[in-house]
Amino acid sequence: IQYNFLSLFFFIQSPESWILVGNCFSLQKEHELALKCFHRALQINPDCTYANTVFFLKKISLFIYLSIY
């Protein structure tokens, strides 16, 4: 994970870096932080298809998770 944050440090204006860090947060069950990273990727490049996909899938899964528990 240190490598991923290092990637974000050097490529802070790259949506791919934010997606990478968001995926790491998602794997660690830090869903709100993952959403923030995916949202930042969309702010940088609103046309990024992968960022749109993971952002809305994570948002839907978090909504379902919170409604169950």
pLDDT tens digits for range 45-57: 999 999 999 999 9
Phi, psi of 29 (to 5 degrees): 65, 25
Q: What is the pTM of this model?
A: 0.80
Grade residue 1 by pLDDT with cuts at 50, 70 and 90. low
Q: So what's the pLDDT on residue 5?
A: 61
Mean pLDDT of 28-37: 91
Nearest-10 crossing angle of helices 2-10, 15-27: 160
Q: So what's the pLDDT on residue 13?
A: 86
Closest CA to 58 of 13, 37, 8: 37
Mean pLDDT across the chain: 86
